[in-house]
Amino acid sequence: MTDQKTLTREAAEFAVNLSFKNFSDDALHIAKRCVLDGLAVMLAGSEQECIDVAERYIRNTGGNAQSRVVGDATLKVPAQLAAFWNGLAGHAMDWDDTQLAEGPGRPYGLLTHPTIPPLSACLAISDMIGGIDGETFLTAFIAGFEIECKIAEAINPDHYNLGFHTSGTIGTFASAVAAGKLLGFDVHQMAQAIGGAASMAAGIRANFGTMGKPMHVARSSENGVTSALLVTNGFTFNEEALDGQWGYLEVAGRGGEPELVQGRFGNPFSIVTPGLSIKPYPCGVLTHPSMDAMKFLMEEEGLEPDNIKNVTLFAANNILHPIRFRIAKSELEGKFCMAFLLSSIIIAGKAGKAEFTNDFVLSDSVQAMQRRVSTQFDPEISAMGHDRIRSRIEVETKDGRSIVKWADENYRGSPHNPLSDEEVEGKFLDCAQGILSNDRSKSVFELVWLLESQPNFMKIYDLLDWRQNRGKQQNSVA
């Protein structure tokens, strides 16, 4: 490593030197909200079909029993596979939080899902070590979170616009840094872990609407941990892998603007400014303002599903291009289908865990309603820019009325209109419905809200355990 302050060097030094005393009360509180929300969506994701597939894969793969997984405290697997499981579960429902952009030209709401990769790594490494106190856990989590967000800001927006899935790519750096922090890396080791992450960071948007999308986050969690564990065993990587002609920003992003973030790691912490969105709905954040607009319109006008003749959503391509399915035929497609998302609001009045199922998506009423919902590019909305998520809904009723509703740019869950702590707890209860008792959930709340004072946060696995009750026979992967 040279004496020049490259982005890689600066990121490594920041992460290694970060300590708990560097955090404001605000940063710590938001971090705990992220941890609680991350555990909630991991819990909900542990019910999804992709986890059943992953469990077969993991059991067939085998390996040392090092770390447990969210949902089944009896299953112990290699640490990197525990990170894979937790990352897959955390993104399985597309309900995890979203980083907001602040750099010029960055698409609002389309940078990365910042919590799951570092949280997955922290859970896996902490359990492998045998337990970590709350201050150490939070410090490693925020270190990974901050590196992830700053790299996502630095890379050229073409990285996402041309097809990379940033949560799968940039998330790898977050998990590597979080794991390295817990493993006590020095600056050289941390830079090498970042270098390893650069060679394993991957994920393309062609897999949106399949199990491949949450697998991107699973791999970002796994690969970051793998990179850190390789470094502990003496494996070497380039210590400037983010920088220069062959560095990650240039190769995977067609360049970037590292000067936007250099000198700004932790100044301010991205978790505070510009902040993040904790999602009220388990789908892409770009859809949330429109879904809220539909919900409020139905309530304000007293409409029922049978009153709807057709619905048109007017928006720019920052919304219309990623949300690409015309009619959803599965709950995975439904996350990227505006016709389904608005139909769920129209029919059920909500879009949560119960609605994101294949049975609901394929029901006759939902399939019929989807055909009444269309989208249309609006050049005037596009001309307003992509610094916020803007859209307009026009509803034609069967009795001849035409009703217009603009989506609120300060949508629910955004830093401008955040969910309250009680609403974050309510989201956890929705995620836990049918698998955890309310008393168990309240114990999770108490543990997380007092996380910094916990001598060993790994008791969280026992509180989140529910899958073993389905009659599992094995306690570990042999």
Whole-Å CA distances, 151 to 162, 167, 308? 17, 11, 45
CATH code 1.10.4100.10 for 7-277: yes
Tokens at residue 438, please? 């309310």
Q: If you average pLDDT over every residue of the chain, what do you get?
A: 93
Is residue 313 within 8 Å of residue 376, measured between CB atoms?
Answer: yes
pLDDT at 223: 98
For 114-172, write each residue's pLDDT tens digit.
999 999 999 999 999 998 999 999 999 999 999 999 999 999 988 988 899 999 999 99
Q: From the CB of residue 35, how many other CB atoms can be counted at a distance below 10 Å? A: 25
Using 50, 70 and 90 to split pLDDT, how confident is the model at 476? very low
Stretch among 15-19, 209-213, 290-294 having the lowest mean pLDDT: 209-213
pLDDT at 473: 34
What's the rounded mean pLDDT across residues 386-405? 93
pLDDT at 471: 46
pLDDT at 100: 82
Task: Please state whether 65 falls in left (phi above 0), alpha (psi between -120 and 50) or beta.
Answer: beta
Portion of the chain with pLDDT greater than 90, in percent:
84
pLDDT at 110: 63
Using 50, 70 and 90 to split pLDDT, how confident is the model at 286? confident
DSSP conformational letter for 156: -
Whole-angstrom distance, CA of residue 89 vs CA of residue 464: 13
Q: What CATH architecture does domain 285-406 belong to?
A: 2-Layer Sandwich (3.30)
Q: Is pLDDT of 54 > 80? A: yes
311 strand-pairing partners: 373, 395
Stretch among 71-85, 267-281, 380-394, 427-441 having the lowest mean pLDDT: 380-394
Whole-angstrom distance, CA of residue 294 vs CA of residue 287: 11
For helices 79-91 and 25-45, the axis angle rounded to 10 degrees is 90
Q: What burial letters (b/e) apply to 303-319, b meaning 16+ CB within 10 Å?
A: bebeebeebbbbbbebb
Whole-angstrom distance, CA of residue 100 vs CA of residue 114: 10
What's the rounded mean pLDDT across residues 310-338? 92
Whole-angstrom distance, CA of residue 159 vs CA of residue 152: 9
Using 50, 70 and 90 to split pLDDT, how confident is the model at 469? low
pLDDT at 161: 84
Span(s) in the chain for CATH 3.30.1330.120? 285-406
Is residue 432 within 8 Å of residue 39, measured between CB atoms?
Answer: no
Whole-angstrom distance, CA of residue 340 vs CA of residue 329: 9
pLDDT at 467: 84
For 240-259, write each residue's pLDDT tens digit.
999 999 999 999 998 899 99
Stretch among 248-257, 300-309, 317-326, 422-431 having the lowest mean pLDDT: 317-326
Main-chain phi, psi angles of 397, to 5 degrees = -95, 165
For 25-51, write each residue's pLDDT tens digit.
999 999 999 999 999 999 999 999 999
Q: Is the peptide bond before 274 cis (omega within 30 degrees of 0)?
A: yes
pLDDT at 3: 56
pLDDT at 349: 96
What's the rounded mean pLDDT across residues 317-323? 87
Span(s) in the chain for CATH 1.10.4100.10? 7-277
98 strand-pairing partners: 277
